[in-house]
Amino acid sequence: MRIAVYPGTFDPVTNGHLDILTRAVKLFDKVIIAVAYDNNKDTLFSLEERKQLLESEVKEYNNVEVRTFSGLTVNFARQCGAVALIRGLRAMTDFEYEFQLALMNKKLAPDIETVFLMTKSDYSFISSSAIKWAASLNGSVTEFVPLNVEKALYAKYKKSL
Ligand code: COA
């Protein structure tokens, strides 16, 4: 059983994240989405809300699980028995940060590989922050997030769809 962990803040999950997930499930027997509790980001959604939004989007997969974690990602991955971490690469600007993170993780856990998947070009420019910014100003984010997430965003910002 080849397990991969797909870690992130997911504040909130976007179509870009789901695109990466769709491809990761074809490569591994099981993918565990790991929602990070403490990674120095002020989040709009609580840990439980981020987990629930993800869960409602992955119901169709029987080999995907959503879990929360705190502490080092590689320690969580080890607990899960994972052989790999999945990361999405959107643009060259992601590369330096991701390269550093992957090398650090490799030092901490030489037995776990980081697998990078290229984000679909339609989503290569989006980020959770940009989506939150647009939604907070009543901009349409329909193209970039699932309907559930869009509703949750507008509820947070007290706007209507
Ligand atoms: N499509 C659209 N957007 C994407 C994307 C995709 N495919 N992939 C990433 N993004 C965006 C996210 O929306 C997010 O946007 P934001 O910064 O505006 O919120 C940004 O890219 C990066 O987010 P994410 O992938 O969630 O990574 P992160 O940098 O927030 O967190 C962790 C990454 C959780 C893996 C990392 O912080 C971590 O491992 N933390 C635990 C401690 C640890 O082990 N540290 C490393 C060793 S010291």
- Position in ligand 1 atom list of the atom nearest CA 8: 26
Instruction: Single out the residue of 157, 88, 90, 149 nearest to residue 116, CA to CA.
Output: 88
112 domain-assigned: yes
Angle (deg, nearest 10), helices 92-108 and 73-80: 60
Q: Domain count of the chain?
A: 1
149 domain-assigned: no
Residue 16's domain is classified under what CATH number? 3.40.50.620
What's the mean pLDDT in 27-38? 95
Structural domain of 113: 3-124
- Position in ligand 1 atom list of the atom nearest CA 74: 44
pTM to 2 decimals? 0.94
pLDDT value for 94: 83
29 domain-assigned: yes
Tokens standing for residue 136: 């907070």
Distance CA 137, CA 79 (A): 41
Residue 28 Ramachandran class (φ > 0 left, ψ -120 to 50 alpha, else beta): beta
Marked catalytic residue, from 50, 87, 90, 132: 90
155 domain-assigned: no
| 159: number of Cβ within 10 Å | 13
Cβ of 129 less than 6 Å from ligand 1: yes
Mutation test residue for ligand 1: of 39, 40, 76, the one with most atoms within 8 Å of CB? 39
Please confirm, yes or no, whether 90 is among the known catalytic residues. yes
pLDDT value for 92: 76
- For residues 67 and 158, the model is more confident at 67
90 domain-assigned: yes
154 domain-assigned: no
Per-residue exposure over 89-114, b if at least 16 CB sit within 10 Å of its own CB, e if not: bbeeebeeebeeebeebeeebeebeb
**What digits encode the pLDDT tens for the residues 43-71?**
999 999 999 999 999 999 999 999 999 99
**What digits encode the pLDDT tens for the residues 120-137?**
989 989 999 999 999 999
138 domain-assigned: no
- For residues 131 and 38, the model is more confident at 131
pLDDT value for 159: 67
pLDDT value for 127: 94
Average the pLDDT over each of 24-28, 59-63, 112-116, 118-122 and give the range with the smallest value: 118-122
- Give strand pairing partners of 117: 88
Please confirm, yes or no, whether 128 is among the known catalytic residues. yes
pLDDT for residue 79 is more than 70: yes
151 domain-assigned: no
**Protein residue closest via CA to atom 20 of ligand 1:** 127
The chain-wide mean pLDDT, for the chain, equals 94
Q: How confident is the model at residue 160 (pLDDT cuts 50, 70, 90)?
A: low
